[in-house]
Amino acid sequence: MTRRLGSGSLVIATHNAGKLKEIGALLDPYGVKCISAGSLGLPEPAETGTTFAQNALIKARAAAEASGLAALADDSGLSVAALDGRPGVYTADWAERQWFEGAPGRDWYMAMGKVEGMLAEKGKDVDRSAAFHCVLALAWPDGEYAIYEGRSDGSLTWPPRGAMGFGYDPVFVPAGAAQTFAEIAPEQKHAISHRADAFAKLVAEQFGA
């Protein structure tokens, strides 16, 4: 049987305030107090894994070992069937600006354009199916861990549509829908997203919900 988290403090392995708020809201009903790795001054480990699960576990284990508390990390990204699953674990890397392109940071329109350009090279009848993935890794200081995987299938559209999402949301149309993730209300997206799928599995196992 998988170890239960229970109530108490949980380190969220992120330096992103928005992500902490989102995860904290999901776990608050179960008596879990979420604190970020950033607020504890914990360093961000190098994500050297080749899968979402490996990278999520690297981050969760680093936070758990450094804090002495249970820690939760996620790793997510987009896989495109016609591109052999790319960008995959390198989803964010495809958006990184190079030093000669101006200020450092991420340009998601550049990343979406890169994906579209590669699909266009394969012809107008290219398979445009894609999926968003989210893997949650829950780790304890003694080395025990649990993994929860979520997925949202759909297809890619062009040009980008909508302004409510982030990342590749403006070009991703979830299966059975006509609007992109960036065109639907956040609460609607959160009900069907890859992250929602992963969290539903975590909550079911950890809290019996």
β-partners of residue 12 are 36, 72
* Beta-sheet pairing, 172-174 with 145-156: antiparallel
Are residues 43 and 20 in contact, defined by beta-carbon separation less than 8 angstroms?
no
Are residues 137 and 73 in contact, defined by beta-carbon separation less than 8 angstroms?
yes
* Beta-sheet pairing, 32-36 with 8-12: parallel
Is 93 in the active site? no
Sequence-distant (≥ 6) Cβ neighbours of residue 95 within 8 angstroms: 106, 107, 108, 110, 111, 167
Rg (CA), the chain: 18
Question: How far from 56 is each of 82, 103, 108, 136, 189, CA to CA, in Å?
Answer: 25, 28, 22, 6, 22
Are residues 23 and 190 in contact, defined by beta-carbon separation less than 8 angstroms?
no
Task: Point out the catalytic residue in the list 75, 125, 142, 197.
Answer: 75
Give me the helices (H) in 68-170, please: 108-120
Catalytic residues: 75
